Copies of this chain bind each other. A is one copy, B any other.
């Protein structure tokens, strides 16, 4: 990787991340951009609006990988030989179905009421695509919410407006502080990117 980042030069093994390719993160999510930056990678951001539609009856672990690949394939026609596209899709899975981004306040309220007092799964599918290779994987984290009061839900929705977040919450925001007492799996996966798995896959790419 051609990089002028001083920190990266100190770590030889990170110098090879991404197989020397120019990394493009295809995601509008500021959280994903921040996570990838904190991983120490140099990259640019591009995005495309891809409808997040998946075939009916698709299983929990297939959906996020299918959607991440859909997003990556949309870039294929314009992909150059020295480029590597990273796409990701995060879903919240509760009681056998996907919770999307909330359409409005009432929808967000209903989602958080549904999540309250229960365990749910957060899955992120990731796709790495170059002109020569495609690697897809997913990570899954179990998340437990305590019983949320209506006051707590209303306070969060009014102050944080989580309309860009699957399941209507950000674990790194107030509702995560007061409401989530346990997770099993990767925390950063719940934020939108399983950075440890991604780091390993990039080293091997």
Task: Report which A residues bind B (CB closer than 8 A).
Answer: 7, 10-14, 35, 38-40, 146, 149, 151-152, 155, 158-159, 171, 174, 177-188, 194-197, 199-200
The docked-state distance in angstroms from the alpha carbon of A179 to that of B199 is: 9
- New A-B contacts (14) at CB < 8 Å, excluding given A182-B185, A184-B184: A10-B159, A11-B151, A35-B177, A38-B177, A39-B177, A39-B178, A146-B196, A178-B196, A179-B196, A180-B186, A180-B196, A181-B196, A183-B185, A183-B186
Whether A152 pairs with B195 at a CB distance below 8 angstroms is: no
Q: Which of B152, B177, B183 meets A183, CB within 8 Å?
A: B183
- B-side contacts of A179, CB under 8 Å: 196
Q: Kindly report how many copies of this chain are found in the complex they form together.
A: 2
Q: State whether A13 touches B182 (Cβ < 8 A).
A: no
Would you call the interface of chain A mostly helix, strand, loop, or mixed?
helix
CB-CB under 8 A from A199, the residues of chain B are 177-178
Q: Which residues on the B side are within 8 Å of A38 (C-beta)?
A: 174, 177
Give 3 nearest A-B pairs by CB, closest first: A11-B155, A187-B187, A181-B196
